[in-house]
């Protein structure tokens, strides 16, 4: 049983890291093209100012980074630049479009973010660190380990505490990384291989809420990217 558990955890981590790598690679490939399209439609800002503001938002995956981006570039809250960014959505790959739309929604409707009481509630709910892919998606960028662990707990707690589609919509607005296909694949792998009983069922339902949020935007059926690969492999 111990060996099986280790394999399950390893599989979850690998699936999450592979999915995250794919997402990051796709983002790098499309970033230059998207910025070029944005620059052609930009309001009266210098090229450098506009690129800095847009990149700050593109790189923000939780309310902490989004608030820091808006505080550094208040122009992000102007109706003009929000309109420009909405037009630029047409150039964002469909599997990343949902997260970007939710970032714009946060900037326009939810700045400066959730209360500290809500953040602490999420940290407590997520302190078990069930999903390695969440920590993996937050790693890097020079973030201290203790802070990264705290943020991972907060994101996981927001996921676990969302017991309805609307509650998950709010969680995803504050923590847009929950809408990334790679991260959802990692969560799904952990649920599939390492969770049982009521915890398995509860997390399946919450993952499905996240997938429904993407389906609303992407207008297609959504499942974890690795499941199609698994079906193909087991069919051979």
**pLDDT > 90 fraction of the chain, expressed in percent and rounded:** 57
pLDDT of residue 5: 46
The pLDDT tens digits for 211-222 are: 999 999 999 999
Closest C-alpha to 109, from 133, 79, 135, 80:
79
Which residue in this structure is represented by tokens 């509860």?
Answer: 202
d(CA 112, CA 68): 9
- Annotated domain spans of the chain: 2-235
| Token output for 219 | 């207008």
Distances, alpha carbon 55 to alpha carbons 24, 47, 60, 137, 179, in Å: 14, 12, 9, 18, 18
How many other β-carbons are positioned within 10 Å of the β-carbon of residue 224?
22
What is the residue-averaged pLDDT of the chain?
A: 84
pLDDT in tens, 169-201: 999 999 999 999 999 999 999 999 999 999 999
pLDDT at 93: 78
pTM, to two decimals: 0.79
**Band (86; pLDDT cuts 50, 70, 90):** confident
């Amino acid at each position: 049983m111990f060996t099986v558990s280790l394999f399950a955890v390893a599989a979850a981590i690998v699936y999450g890291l592979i999915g995250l790598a794919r997402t990051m690679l796709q983002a790098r490939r499309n970033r230059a093209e998207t910025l070029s399209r944005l620059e052609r439609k930009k309001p009266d800002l210098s090229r450098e100012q506009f690129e800095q503001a847009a990149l700050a938002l593109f790189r923000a995956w939780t309310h902490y980074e989004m608030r820091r981006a808006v505080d550094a570039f208040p122009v992000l809250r102007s109706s003009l630049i929000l309109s420009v960014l909405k037009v630029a959505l047409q150039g964002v790959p469909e599997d990343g479009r949902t997260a970007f739309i939710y970032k714009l929604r946060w900037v326009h409707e939810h700045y400066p973010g959730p209360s500290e009481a809500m953040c602490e509630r999420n940290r407590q709910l997520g302190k078990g660190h069930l999903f390695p892919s969440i920590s993996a998606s937050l790693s890097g960028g020079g973030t201290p380990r203790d802070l990264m662990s705290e943020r991972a707990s907060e994101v996981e707690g927001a996921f676990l505490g969302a017991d309805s589609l609307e509650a998950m919509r709010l969680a995803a607005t504050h923590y847009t990384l929950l809408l990334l296909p790679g991260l959802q694949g990692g969560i799904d792998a952990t649920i599939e291989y390492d969770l049982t009983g009521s915890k398995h069922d509860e997390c399946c339902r919450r993952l499905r809420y996240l997938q429904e949020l993407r389906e609303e935007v992407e207008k297609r059926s959504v499942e974890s990217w690795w499941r199609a690969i698994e079906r193909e492999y087991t069919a051979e």
